[in-house]
């Protein structure tokens, strides 16, 4: 917004920046209604950054179909529905950015539904980049550990090769880069301070 972008946020919660529109990302009807409420005649950038995250460890045998569907629905289905609804408004040279995760590239095992959803977003972005060609570029960002918390342990910061945990500003800068990088499409930009390139052993 500081650079002159007009922003609309589609969210189930209040407090988002810019024009806020209530929306269930997993609902085709809700997404369609949200775009009608938006009332814009063009979009230069769509960032698919919504989704549900469970706070508990998800074990395969204990995970319900509702939990699976809500995770896949809010992340992967939401990205599909938002991208499809935005298509008539996206102009030549515009951009779609999918917000995936390093969980799409490496796994903990405790969040397999989330990892599957984010991996699906990476594949979706690659396929859409090929389909939409020169008109609309489609890329993915895979954030690592991103937080506003200023009270982290020194070892949390130090385990990142760059010497610190990521901040929201790091992701914002990545989005702005992909929004303007005219020769970049179908790619996954990992923003994790080098963590996915570091082998970690228990000492």
Mean pLDDT of 15-35: 85
pLDDT exceeds cutoff 60 at 203: no
In a domain, 1, yes or no: no
Mean pLDDT of 20-45: 92
In a domain, 9, yes or no: no
Lowest mean pLDDT among 35-44, 112-121, 153-162: 153-162
Q: What is the pLDDT of residue 1?
A: 47
In a domain, 2, yes or no: no
**197 and 161 Cβ atoms separated by less than 8 Å:** yes
In a domain, 19, yes or no: no
Regarding predicted confidence, which is higher, 18 or 195?
195
In a domain, 15, yes or no: no
Is position 114 annotated as part of the catalytic site? Answer: yes
**What is the residue range of 161's domain?**
43-197
In a domain, 80, yes or no: yes
The total number of structural domains in the chain stands at 1
**Are β-strands 43-48 and 19-22 bridged in parallel, bridged antiparallel, or unpaired?**
unpaired
pLDDT exceeds cutoff 70 at 18: no
Regarding predicted confidence, which is higher, 151 or 119?
119
CATH assignment of the domain containing 142: 3.40.50.720
Q: What is the pLDDT of residue 160?
A: 86
Rounded to a whole number of angstroms, the CA Rg of the chain reads: 17
Per-residue pLDDT tens digits for 45-94: 999 998 888 766 788 998 999 999 999 999 999 999 999 999 999 999 99
The percentage of residues in the chain with a pLDDT greater than 90, rounded to a whole number, is: 61
Q: What is the pLDDT of residue 4?
A: 55
The percentage of residues in the chain with a pLDDT greater than 70, rounded to a whole number, is: 90
Q: Model's pTM, two decimal places? A: 0.88
Q: What is the pLDDT of residue 165?
A: 87
pLDDT exceeds cutoff 60 at 190: yes
Q: What is the pLDDT of residue 156?
A: 79
pLDDT exceeds cutoff 60 at 12: no
In a domain, 8, yes or no: no
In a domain, 37, yes or no: no
């Amino acid at each position: 917004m500081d650079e002159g972008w007009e922003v609309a946020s589609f969210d189930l919660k209040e407090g988002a920046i810019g024009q806020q529109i209530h929306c269930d990302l997993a609902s085709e009807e809700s997404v369609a209604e949200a775009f009608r409420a938006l009332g814009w005649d063009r979009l230069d950038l769509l960032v698919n950054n919504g989704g549900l995250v469970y706070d508990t460890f998800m074990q395969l045998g204990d995970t319900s179909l509702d939990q699976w569907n809500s995770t896949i629905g809010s992340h992967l289905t939401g990205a599909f529905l938002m991208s499809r609804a935005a298509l008539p408004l996206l102009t030549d040279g515009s951009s779609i950015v999918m917000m995936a995760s390093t969980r799409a590239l490496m796994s903990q095992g405790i969040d397999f539904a989330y990892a599957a959803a984010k991996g699906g977003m990476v594949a979706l972005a690659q396929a859409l980049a090929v389909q939409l060609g020169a008109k609309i570029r489609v890329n993915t960002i895979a954030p690592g550990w991103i937080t506003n918390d200023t009270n982290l342990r020194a070892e949390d910061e130090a385990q990142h090769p760059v010497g610190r945990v990521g901040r929201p500003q790091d992701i914002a800068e990545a989005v702005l880069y992909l929004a303007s990088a005219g020769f970049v499409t179908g790619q996954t930009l990992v923003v994790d301070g080098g963590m996915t390139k570091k082998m970690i052993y228990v000492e």
